[in-house]
Amino acid sequence: MVLNTAVLPPQAPASIAPAARRRGRSRGTAPGEPRLVAYLYLVPALLMVVVFVLLPVLHTVYLSLVKWDGVTAATFVGLGNYVDILTDPQLRALFLHSLELVFFFAVLPISLGLLITALLSRRAVRGMTFYRSILFLPQVVSMVVIAVAWQWIYAQDGVANQLLGLIGLDRGIAWLGDFTWALPAIGIVGAWLSTGLCMVLFLSGVQKIDTSLYEAARLDGANAWQEFRHITLPGLRAEIAVALTLTVVGALKSFDVVYLLTKGGPGTSTAVPGYEIFARAFGRGEAGSAASLAVVLTVIIFVVSIAISRFSKEPEV
């Protein structure tokens, strides 16, 4: 997910655009000069986006209105697929799983990132370039490779149990096959992917906060928590919004990590909407209902990104 989505480039948030627009407005003009030549610069790229992104999306919307197995003739069913989605209690469970993943993919990494940032005394850290390179490494390698590595880690005789054994907690659980632990186990892979990203983001963000703010706070006798609460946190608002959008959207869209690690199992305990879409479209020949689920998921992702952008607008985090 996040940067590493084997399928897609990272979900850079649409929510950020309004921020830029606000800024433009506050200066009274949009950036740049009025120039119609701009269209010429956009044409080639726009053509590609229309043909290879927008048309397939419109096509998906059309498919969501039919019943189609992918090979025989389709039947038009109107909003029937959507009604099915709304009345299917099992689908609700999938969205709840996504919600749990949001905690692991977003809340945990951002909290950890902030914790590290808070520990940092705003001095240059020797070897920071090295740390950053390592922390960022999970984003560089293919999800296929990562999945293989984590499958071994979670095996009954894998590294996870080996480490737990060091503190006497190895119960011989095969993590990906346990109804209670499989979803958190997938979540931890997501947290592992995005923690480095969040840290790199926050650590560089904090370097840009005006030092004099801290000096002033110290003169006023502020303690470490107050410094963090009143200077660091507000100063990182933009980075937090970015991290939040990336990771939350990543959690909602998650597909490959589930596809490669558990295929939704055991039972359906790790099934998420992204995986269900794929399973319906490719496994069961339900292209229409898969498309309607995709439309619903896209709408949810849009709403969430907009909500996050609204949130990041508030003066207090």
Partner 1 sequence: MTSPAAAAAPRLTTGGRPTAIPKSRPATPRERLSSLTTHIALIVFSVIAFLPFFSMFLVSLYPADQPAVGIALPRELNFGNYARAWDVTNFATLMTSSAIVALVVVPLGTILCILTGYAFGAMRFPGRNLLFFTFLFGLLMPFEATIVPLYYDLRAFGLVNTYAGLILPETALFLSFGTFWMRAHFLSTPRALVEAARIDGANSWQTLWRVLLPSAWPAITTMMVLFFIWSWNEFLLALVLMTDKSVQTAPAGLGLFIGEHTKDSSGLAAAAVLMSIPCLIVYVVLQRHFIRGVTSGSVKG
Partner 2 sequence: MSLHSSRRSRTALVLAAAAAIALGSAGCSALTPGAAPGGTATLAPATKLSADDVTALGDVTLRMTDGGDAAPESRLSQSIAKFEAEFPNVTVERDVKAFADYSKTINLVMSGDDAPDIAEADGAMAPRLVAGKLLRPLNDYFDAYGWAARYPSSILSSLKASPDGKAYGTGDFWGVSTGGELTGVFYNKAVLDRAGVDLPATFDDFQAALATLHDKGEIPIQLGNLDQWSGSHVFSTLLDNTADPQGLQDWINGKPGATFTSPETKQALTTFKDWFSQGYISEQANGILDEDAVASFMDGQGAFLITGTWRTADISTTLGENGGFMLLPPKEEGGPSYATGSYQGTFGISPKTKNADLAAFFLDYITGPVAASINEAGDFLGWYPDENSAPAGTAAEDVQTAWASVLENNGLVGWLDSASPAMGDTLFPALQELMAGQQTPEQVMDAVQKTWEDYRQA
State which of positions 155-194 bind partner 2 (CB under 8 A). 155-156, 172-179, 182
Q: Report how many residues bind partner 1 under the rule CB under 8 A.
A: 135
264 binds partner 1 (CB under 8 A): no
C-alpha count within 13 angstroms, C-beta hemisphere, residue 198 = 29
CB of 82 to partner 1, least distance (A): 14
290/283 Cα distance (integer angstroms) = 11
**Helix H or strand E encompassing 75:** strand 75-76
317 binds partner 1 (CB under 8 A): no
**Helix H or strand E encompassing 67:** strand 66-67
Cis preceding linkage at 138, omega within 30: no
245/239 Cα distance (integer angstroms) = 10
Site residues (CB under 8 A) for partner 2, limited to 17-36: 25
CB of 72 to partner 1, least distance (A): 14
Exactly one of 86, 99, 149, 307 binds partner 1 (CB under 8 A); that residue is 149
CB of 246 to partner 2, least distance (A): 25
Residues 6+ apart with CB under 8 A from 259: 275, 278
The contact pattern for partner 1, residues 77-106, with x = CB under 8 A and - = no contact, is ------------------------------
Contact assessment for residue 71 and residue 299, using Cβ atoms and an 8 Å cutoff: no
Strand ranges inside 82-227, DSSP E: none
Exactly one of 28, 37, 166, 267 binds partner 1 (CB under 8 A); that residue is 37
**Residues near partner 2 (CB under 8 A):** 25, 54-55, 58-59, 61-63, 66-74, 76, 151, 154-156, 172-179, 182, 262-268, 271, 279, 282-287
